[in-house]
Amino acid sequence: METKSSVFQRLDFFFAILVGIWSFALYFRTLAPSVLTSDSAEFQTLFYTLGMTHPTGYPVHVLIGKLFTLIPIQTIAYRANLASAFFAAVAVAEIYLIVYLLGRWRVGALVGALALAHMPLFWRFAIIAESYSISSVFSLSILLFILLWREQGNWRSLLFAGILGGLSIGVHGATAMAAPAIAIYLLLTARKRNAWISAIGGAAMGIFLLIAAFIYIDHRDPPSSIYNAVYRPSLSKWGLTEDQFVTPLEHLDILFPAESALNYFFDVPASTITNRFTIYQSSYSSFSKLLILIGFIYIFFRNNDIKRKLWFEAILVAGIFLPLWLFALTQNSSLYAQFFTLSDPILYIWLGLGICGLLELLSWLINYVFSAKKKDYRNLAMILLSFLIIIFPFWQSRKAIFSAWENGYTRDIKNSGVYPIFAPEQKARLARRIVNKVEEDAIVFTEWDRLYTFYYVAHIERGLTRIDFHQAYIGDGTTEVADSLAAYIAGNIDTRPIYTTIPLLDLIPFYTFEPVSDDLLRLHKRE
């Protein structure tokens, strides 16, 4: 395969940057300004302290997030949120490039990118510290480099795709689900040895860098690491002792249990899947669904610039989408909806391609209606149609855009409760109230949602790194204290003050619980 000149012109990079800046401006205007709860607070904390997160560990994401904490603006929490806004904007720009590469209509590429930028769910997770925006960037970058290789024959594109593929597992484990589709695509299209060497060599380099990132974060092991905050006190829940949780491989086994990988799919009743699908499809307008369908079909029948059918590219895009979408639709989690942000960017590739297909049809009709002597009329008609089509994503999201600029939030952000827009410091204030009431060497047990808000306030805001916070109960809905956690309390009760923000019912026979405030109890040994 011979190397060809770039398929993109300066105008394409200008448009990609333009839609990226537009989307970043929206996300920046509506960015969550303070420390949050749950996973977001965990990322806000561990970006700074460089500790391992909940499964799958996210070591590459943590290291990249660390770079954003070095930006000298606002607070650490704000900078962590800003990282999501930045990567969401990059993902929007990449949608433009991918749609143009496949469809060759700039208007279609612009509409696909802008429609994703304005999508409520994508927007919602672009303004808080989370893994979905950066995961989209890695997935879309891999796809973009593979398509560039196919178009230009440059082995370096496959090398970069491979490196990003290896690293992406350290950004979000679900990105590995795209690997089978990519492998099948290369088997169908790669005919030269240098292509395979580039792809495999790049993947090996990426995995090597991933392992290095994992070992580094694993070795740091700050008090706020998931190892200390959750695992070590409750190791008996996993049937482990402290001697069995020492090496990086032992840590990896609990972060990424290989035997449970397939359990992520179809782990809920069929009725639940049907209900989820009904809710999911209702979030798209009928016109958007039509465009997505047209784009899905269009790519199978379109020829590229050298008259080559794009069947294999159509299969690749669908193969990347399907496992990510099924993962969100069928996994056993009450928070399943957020995982659609991993697959939804692919839908907007198809939506943009649907516009490309319509433009191709309209172009043919206009050429048919106007004779060759009326070229100016044909051009004017296409310009007017293109303008009207570009207005579509702005008109569709006009209320959200106006609300974002005027109020600093959208109705979706307000209703979803992604952060308390009228009291953005509420979570921090509640955490400070607890931190102010405990000693500098205290141990505090709490639930997951508040765990890292406490860590952020105590360790980052106040520098009180001797206070340890731990998740009290392991598992959804359980109120059972792990045997090892009970032993941990018994081993520290005589030397350190121990508190809890939630009832520890299993320990009532052994301890009294002194009320310190409405949501804080101190443990004392029974006489």
Over the stretch 151-160, which tens digit does the pLDDT of each residue have? 888 999 999 9
- Segment 443-469, tens digit of pLDDT: 999 999 999 999 999 999 999 999 999
Token digits for 311? Answer: 């069947």
Please name the amino acid found at residue 70: L
CB 466 within 8 A of CB 441: yes
Compute the mean pLDDT over every residue in the chain, rounded to the nearest whole number: 92
CB 171 within 8 A of CB 61: yes
Token digits for 268? Answer: 């809920």
Residues 353-370, mean pLDDT to the nearest whole number: 87
Length of the chain in residues, anyone?
527
CB 108 within 8 A of CB 352: yes
Nearest to 56 by CA among 224, 213, 190: 213
More confident residue, 13 or 257: 13
Phi-psi region of 354 (alpha: psi -120 to 50; beta: other; left: phi over 0): alpha
Task: Give CA–CA dist 286/255, Å, rounded.
Answer: 41
Q: Is the peptide bond before 341 cis (omega within 30 degrees of 0)?
A: no
Is residue 33 scored above 70 in pLDDT?
A: yes
Token digits for 431? Answer: 């955490």
- Structure confidence at residue 1 (pLDDT): 43
Residues 427-451, mean pLDDT to the nearest whole number: 96
Identify the helix (H) or strand (E) that includes residue 3: none
Whole-number Cα distances in Å, 488 to 231, 280, 435, 439:
12, 44, 21, 18
Identify the residue whose tokens are 């955490």: 431
Looking at the chain, the whole-number percentage of residues with pLDDT higher than 90 is 81
CB 300 within 8 A of CB 311: yes
Angle at 178 between CA 177 and CA 184, to 5 degrees: 120
Identify the helix (H) or strand (E) that includes residue 522: strand 520-525
Task: Give CA–CA dist 157/467, Å, rounded.
Answer: 48
DSSP calls for 236-272: GGGT--GGGS-SHHHHHHHHS-GGGGGGGSS-S-HHH
Q: Where are the alpha helices (DSSP H) in 70-192?
A: 76-103, 106-118, 120-124, 132-152, 155-168, 179-189
- Structure confidence at residue 130 (pLDDT): 96
Token digits for 301? Answer: 């029948």
- Structure confidence at residue 182 (pLDDT): 95
CB 52 within 8 A of CB 251: yes
- Structure confidence at residue 71 (pLDDT): 97
Residues 23-30, mean pLDDT to the nearest whole number: 98
CB 147 within 8 A of CB 134: no
Task: Give CA–CA dist 43/66, Å, rounded.
Answer: 10
Helix axes of 76-103 and 38-49: crossing angle, nearest 10 degrees = 100
Q: Give the gyration radius of the chain's Cα atoms.
A: 26
Those residues whose C-beta lies under 8 Å from the C-beta of residue 163, and which sit 6 or more positions away, are 202, 203, 205, 206, 209
Task: Give CA–CA dist 13/483, Å, rounded.
Answer: 58
Task: Give CA–CA dist 369/388, Å, rounded.
Answer: 20
- Segment 137-154, tens digit of pLDDT: 999 999 999 999 998 889
Those residues whose C-beta lies under 8 Å from the C-beta of residue 158, and which sit 6 or more positions away, are 145, 146, 149, 195, 198, 199, 202
Task: Give CA–CA dist 54/38, Å, rounded.
Answer: 11
Is residue 306 scored above 60 in pLDDT?
A: no
**Model confidence, pTM:** 0.94
- Structure confidence at residue 2 (pLDDT): 46
Q: Which of 180-184, 352-356, 374-378 has the lowest mean pLDDT?
A: 374-378
Using DSSP bridges, classify how beta strands 443-446 and 468-471 pair: parallel, antiparallel or unpaired: parallel
Per-residue b or e along 36-59, where b marks 16 or more CB atoms closer than 10 Å to that residue's CB: bbbbbbbbbbbbbbbbbbbebbbb
Residues 240-246, mean pLDDT to the nearest whole number: 95
Residues 189-204, mean pLDDT to the nearest whole number: 93
CB 181 within 8 A of CB 326: no
